Amino acid sequence: MTEMNTENNLEAMQRAHGPLLEVKNLQVDFTTDEGKAVHAVRNSSFSVYPGQWVAIVGESGSGKSTVANMVLKLLEPTAGTVTYDGKDISGFKGKELLDFRRHVQPVFQNPYGSLDPMYSIYRSIEEPLRIHGIGDKKSRAKRVRELIDMVELPESVMSRYPNELSGGQRQRIAIARCILKDAPIVILDEATASVDVDNERYIQEAISELVRGKTLLVIAHRLHTIRDADQILVVAGGRIAQCGDHASLSDQPGIYQDFVQKRSGGSRHESV
């Protein structure tokens, strides 16, 4: 009874605050080099409340990563809006955009693209502190060493460059940068899809600590990573085809139930 009351109180608090992220009637169209019109995302809407964990799943090419990129303001929608804490992010510029980037932090499937190849690992982690005027050179160096230790990498990686690290090590650096920014919203875009089993296990544990008490949007294709999500959005053909938690969607005939049944006897690394 106490646990149920706690959950009800949390839900009531979330609804009273209103959504932290809200996507309304989102649409993305583009034309291929061959002149073919593609509707990547079609009339999609959903809300993410404070402290909530929302997962977006679907086959490759279904539009789930496109949605994440628009939430991060890395892509502009053809139509529709994305709001953060009640404000339309399409108008964010300058300091407002910089503040938004500090509050919404991604960890991508391939972290190499988010690490400047010309920067050492030390500079990649230290740069946000320097840009925002946090601490002096000595205190920033101490903080970088602490973060390297937190993600269980040797201090020697600080002098290395992204191309000198493995995929799993680069993902740990991405997590270190995410911890540094302490953003209230974390967006994970298939963050463990390209790492080996040992690194995946560690990264999942590190992410669990990283997102404790935060609002979480996860783009995923592995069933075991989304079972505990508060809300699962199933994307197909650029549309949100189903919405619910794992239990309700598993009992409901449709795409998600088919996914569960196909994978129930298979490898934990099988994709949607």
Q: Give CA–CA dist 130/245, Å, rounded.
A: 41
Tokens representing residue 32 in the block: 């291929």
Instruction: Give the pLDDT confidence score for residue 177 in this predicted structure.
Output: 85
Instruction: Tell me which residue has tokens 């391939």.
Output: 110
**pLDDT tens digits for the chain (272 residues)?**
444 444 555 455 455 678 999 999 999 998 888 888 888 899 999 999 999 999 999 888 888 888 989 999 999 999 999 999 999 999 999 989 988 988 998 888 777 777 889 999 999 999 888 887 888 999 999 999 998 998 889 999 999 999 999 888 888 888 888 888 788 898 988 766 666 666 677 777 777 777 778 899 998 877 777 888 999 999 998 899 999 999 999 999 999 998 888 766 544 444 55
pLDDT at 212: 79
Radius of gyration of the chain from its Cα atoms, rounded to whole angstroms: 19
Closest CA to 70 of 175, 227, 217, 228: 217
Torsion over CA: 231, 252, 247, 106 (sign):
negative
Residues β-bridged to residue 49: none
pLDDT in tens, 43-79: 999 999 999 999 999 888 888 888 989 999 999 999 9
Task: Look up the pTM and report it.
Answer: 0.80
Measure the CA–CA gap between 202 and 3, rounded to whole angstroms.
29
Which pLDDT does position 33 carry in this prediction? 83
pLDDT at site 107: 83
The token duo for 222 is 């592995």
Residue 150 CA to residue 46 CA, distance in Å, equals: 34
Q: What is d(CA 169, CA 154) in angstroms, rounded to the nearest whole number?
A: 10
